[in-house]
Chains A and B, each alone.
Chain A
Amino acid sequence: MMHESKPRVARSSLAAALLVGLATLCSSGSASASSKFPESLQKALTRQFPGVSFCVPLCTACHLTTVGGPGNLNVFGTSLARPLNGGTLPNLILGNNGDVDKKLDDSINNYFASTPATGLPVASTTFHAPQAVATRPSYDSDQDGVSDYDEFEAGDSPSEPGAKGVGQFCPADTAQYGCFARVAAAPPTTDRLALFSAGLVVLGLAALRRRQRVR
C-alpha cells in the first residue's frame, strides 16, 4: 500500500507545482519593450492643439521605420531631438524610464516656444494659445514651406513634404495585422515571477520524466 500511495502523492504535488507555475506565467510581460512614446506624443500634441484629433501615431512619426528605437530618426525626430537655440537640450531623453508623458509634453512645448537656430529650415507661423500668440519663424523639418506647427494643426505629417493635406500624420492605410477576432486585454506584468515559473515548470517536467524512467 505504501509503495503504491507514494507515487500518487508525489505526482499530485508535481502536478500542483506545474499548474501553479504555468498559471503564473500568465503574468509575463510583453515580448519587447513596449514603447510609451507614441501614446505620450499623442497626449502632448492633443494638449498643444486642443482642436485637432490625434491618433496614437506609428513610430514613423519620429523615426525612419515603424520599428523606432534609438537613433534612426526622421527629419522631424531629428529636429525634436536637436539642442534648442542657446544650447539647451530638450527634455527628451532616450528610453522609457521616468515620466515619458512629461518628457514629451515639455519637449513639444519647448519645440514650439523656441525659435530655431540660424541655418535650420524655418517657415513663418502664426501661433495660438497655449503658445504665446504671435507670428514668428518656426521649424519646418521637411522643408516644404509649411511649418511643423501648421502641419500638425492641419493633421499633416511634418516629415512628409507637400502642400496642406499631403502626408497625413494619422494615415488611414497603415498595415493592420491578423485575420479575425480580438482577444482579451493583457494581464498584469510581473516579469521575474514569470521567469521563476518557467523554471519551475521545466524542473517539474524533468522530475516527472526522471521518475518515469526510474520505474
Chain B
Amino acid sequence: MLKGSGTRKLGGRDSLRAFQRFLGWSLVVLFVSLFPSRAHAYTWMIKHGYASCPVCHADPSGGELLTQYGRVQSDELLRMKYGKGASESSRIELKAPRLVRRTPETKTDALSGSEEGDKGADPEAKTAGEEAPTAAATEEEEAPPPAAPTSSEESSSSPGDFLWGLVKTPDWLLLGGSYRHLTVIRPSTEAKKFSTFPMMADLYGQVQFGNFRAEGSLGVVRVGVGSPYARAAQLTTNQGDQWNLLSRTHWLGYDFADGMITVRAGHMNLPFGIRIPEHTMWVRQATLTDRESAQQDGVAFAYNGEKLRGEVMGILGNYQVNPDKYRQRGYSLYAEYLVGERTAVGVSSMVTKAVKDRITLQADPLRQAHGAYVRSALTEDLVLLAEADALFTSDHDAGYVGFAQADYEIIRGLHLMATGEVQNRGYDKLVGGAKTAGNGKPQFGVWGTVDWFFLPHCELRADAYKRQQDDFTILGQLHVFL
C-alpha cells in the first residue's frame, strides 16, 4: 500500500491521505500510460568513493532503479544546493560503504511477510539519516548516515522515499522511474531542424523476499517506422509509429554471501564496458551494449567484492524480437579492479552470433568486442572515463571504437563535460566500395556538455556535438528520475 509520507505530521486527516494516494497513483498511472526510451547511471560517482554500483542501484552492475540509499545520495551528492549554508554543505563528502550488503533488518521484515516493522515504526524516527544505512550497511558497519537531517527535513518524508518522499514504500519494495524529454536542434541540416519529444518514460520496481529478488521495468514508447531505438524492448506489437508498451529489464535474482554474489535470470543490460547514459555514443552503439534497448535475455553471475567486481552473462537472445533468426546468442562480461581509492580499471569481452542481423540484415553475423576501460577521479572535481574496444565482425575487417570523457564539476550540481570519440567499425567487405570514415577509416566526434542537477532528482542537460559525416547537433534534455 502506498502510504502518504506527510500523513502523520499533518494529523492523519483522511482527506489529505486520500489526496496523497490519489496524487501518487495518478502519477504512477499517467507515467505508465504515456511515452518512450533510455536509462542512466553516473559512472563518475567514483569520485565520491562509489566504485561499486549496488550501493545505489538494484542492478548489481548499476543503472536504472535506485536503492533507498541511492535516492538519498542522489539528493545529497548530485543536486545543486541553494541558499545560505549551501557553500558549506555542498562539499560535504560522505564516505561510501565499501561493500554493499542487504540488511538483516530488511530481510527479516520481508521474510516474515509482515509490514509491522514498517508500519509500526514511528515514521518520524525514520529520517534519511537513519534509514539509509539500513538500506546499505557495510561489511564493517562503517557506513555513516548518508545525510544529516536538517530541522526542516525532520518530517515523516525522506529523500529515500519514492516520488520525492511522497510515497513511502516498505523495505521489501523499491520503486523508481525515469522521464527524459529530448529536444534536438540541427541548425545546418536540410532535413528537420527542430524536434522535441519524450524520449523515455519508464517505471521500475523491485520486490525482495529474503535473498530472492524480482525486478522489472515498464514504460511507454513511440518511435518512427524503421527506428533503431526502443523496438527491441517492445512488449506490445505495433510495428509502426504507434505507442507501445516496453520493458527494458525484467529479471529474477538470488543473492549469496550477503549480496556479494548475485545470480540473475531474465532480460538484462549486457555487462560490458562503462555504463554511460549516452546511448548514442559510438562506444555503446558499435558494441550493441547500450541500455536504451540492447538488453538481452540470459543468465548472469555478478560479483561485487571490495576491490574486484564483475559480471558474466550467458546471452540466450532477445525474446522480444521475432523470429528467432534475429536473436543474438553468446556471452558478455566485464571485470573491474579498484587500483586506488578512486580509480578503477576494467576489461570487457563479448561474442554473439545470430542467423541474421536485424539492423543490417547481414546473414550469419558473428560479432566480437573486446576491450578495456578506466574510471578515475583525478581530483576532487575532475573525473576521467575512457574505454577502447576492438571489434571483429564477420565479413568486415577488424575495427575499433573508443571514447574519453572528462567531467568537471564546477560547483555542486553543475558539470561540464568534454568528450572525444572515435570509431572504425571495420570495412564492410560485403557492401564493398570505397573506404569511408567509420567504414575502413577512422571517424571522429567531439561533444561538449553542460549537466545541471537543478532540483532533487531533476537534471537539465545540454549537449553539442559534431561528428564526421553528420550535422552539428544540439541536444537539450530534461531528466526527472523518481
Q: Is the CB of B226 within 8 A of A66?
A: yes
Q: Is the CB of A178 within 8 A of B234?
A: yes
Which residues 13-60 of A have a CB within 8 angstroms of B? 15, 18-19, 22-23, 25-26, 28-35, 38-39, 56, 58-60
Q: Is the CB of B222 within 8 A of A186?
A: yes
Enumerate chain A residues within 8 angstroms of B358, measured Cβ to Cβ: 66, 175
Q: Is the CB of A182 within 8 A of B35?
A: no
Q: Is the CB of B222 within 8 A of A30?
A: yes
Q: Is the CB of B190 within 8 A of A195?
A: no
Question: Contacts A94-B191, A177-B237 known; A22 to B30 CB distance under 8 Å?
Answer: yes
CA distance A175 to B166 in the complex (A): 42
Q: Is the CB of B226 within 8 A of A31?
A: no
Q: Is the CB of B241 within 8 A of A34?
A: yes
Which residues 166-188 of A have a CB within 8 angstroms of B? 173, 175-187
CA distance A11 to B24 in the complex (A): 13
Q: Is A81 an interface residue (CB 8 A)?
A: no
B29 to chain A, nearest CB (A): 9
CA distance A26 to B5 in the complex (A): 28
Enumerate chain A residues within 8 angstroms of B181, measured Cβ to Cβ: 194-195, 198
CA distance A189 to B10 in the complex (A): 41
Number of cross-chain contacts by CB at 8 Å: 221
Q: Is the CB of A173 within 8 A of B323?
A: yes
Q: Is the CB of A22 within 8 A of B26?
A: yes
CA distance A209 to B162 in the complex (A): 12
CA distance A38 to B359 in the complex (A): 16
CA distance A206 to B323 in the complex (A): 46
CA distance A185 to B35 in the complex (A): 13
CA distance A174 to B38 in the complex (A): 24
Enumerate chain B residues within 8 angstroms of A185, measured Cβ to Cβ: 242
B153 to chain A, nearest CB (A): 6
Task: Select A176's contact among B163, B229, B237, B428, beta carbons within 8 Å.
Answer: B237
Which residues 443-480 of B have a CB within 8 angstroms of A? 455-456, 458, 469, 478, 480
Q: Is the CB of B245 within 8 A of A183?
A: yes
Interface size on A, residues (CB 8 A): 68
Question: Contacts A178-B236, A194-B196, A212-B155 known; A35 to B225 CB distance under 8 Å?
Answer: yes
The proximity string for A residues 57-77 relative to B, scoring 1 for CB distances below 8 Å and 0 otherwise, is: 011100011111011001000
Interface size for chain B: under 10, 10 to 19, 20 to 34, or 35 or more residues? Answer: 35 or more
Q: Which residue of A lies closest to B195 (CB)?
A: A33
Q: Is A192 an interface residue (CB 8 A)?
A: yes
The proximity string for B residues 200-238 relative to A, scoring 1 for CB distances below 8 Å and 0 otherwise, is: 000000000000000000000111111111111011111
Q: Is B322 an interface residue (CB 8 A)?
A: yes
Q: Is the CB of A29 within 8 A of B196?
A: yes
Enumerate chain B residues within 8 angstroms of A22, measured Cβ to Cβ: 26-27, 30-31, 34
Task: Select A95's contact among B31, B189, B239, beta carbons within 8 Å.
Answer: B189
Q: Is the CB of B239 within 8 A of A176?
A: yes
Q: Is B287 an interface residue (CB 8 A)?
A: no
Enumerate chain B residues within 8 angstroms of A130, measured Cβ to Cβ: none
Q: Is A120 an interface residue (CB 8 A)?
A: no
Q: Is the CB of A56 within 8 A of B23?
A: no
Enumerate chain A residues within 8 angstroms of B234, measured Cβ to Cβ: 177-179
CA distance A205 to B35 in the complex (A): 19
Enumerate chain A residues within 8 angstroms of B227, measured Cβ to Cβ: 31-32, 67
Enumerate chain B residues within 8 angstroms of A181, measured Cβ to Cβ: 236-237
Question: Contacts A95-B190, A202-B458, A208-B164 known; A30 to B197 CB distance under 8 Å?
Answer: yes
Which residues 96-117 of A have a CB within 8 angstroms of B? 96-97
Question: Contacts A32-B227, A33-B224, A38-B225 known; A179 to B320 CB distance under 8 Å?
Answer: yes
Q: Is B84 an interface residue (CB 8 A)?
A: no
Q: Which residue of A lies closest to B29 (CB)?
A: A22
Q: Is the CB of B241 within 8 A of A186?
A: yes
Question: Contacts A34-B224, A175-B358 known; A198 to B235 CB distance under 8 Å?
Answer: no
Task: Select A32's contact among B15, B223, B428, B469, beta carbons within 8 Å.
Answer: B223
Q: Is A133 an interface residue (CB 8 A)?
A: no
CA distance A65 to B439 in the complex (A): 14
Enumerate chain A residues within 8 angstroms of B19, measured Cβ to Cβ: 11-12, 15
Enumerate chain A residues within 8 angstroms of B16, measured Cβ to Cβ: 8, 11
Q: Which residue of B lies closest to A28 (CB)?
A: B198
Q: Which residue of A lies closest to B228 (CB)?
A: A67
Most chain-B CB neighbours within 10 Å: which of A32, A71, A198?
A32
CA distance A11 to B478 in the complex (A): 24
A-B contact pairs, 18 of them (CB 8 A): A28-B197, A28-B222, A29-B195, A29-B222, A32-B227, A66-B358, A66-B361, A67-B227, A97-B191, A175-B322, A177-B244, A183-B236, A184-B242, A187-B243, A195-B478, A209-B165, A212-B6, A212-B166
Q: Which residues of B contact A (CB under 8 A)?
A: 5-6, 9-10, 15-16, 19, 22-23, 26-27, 30-31, 33-37, 152-153, 155, 157, 163-166, 179, 181-183, 189-192, 195-199, 221-232, 234-239, 241-245, 319-323, 325-326, 358-361, 428, 431, 455-456, 458, 469, 478, 480
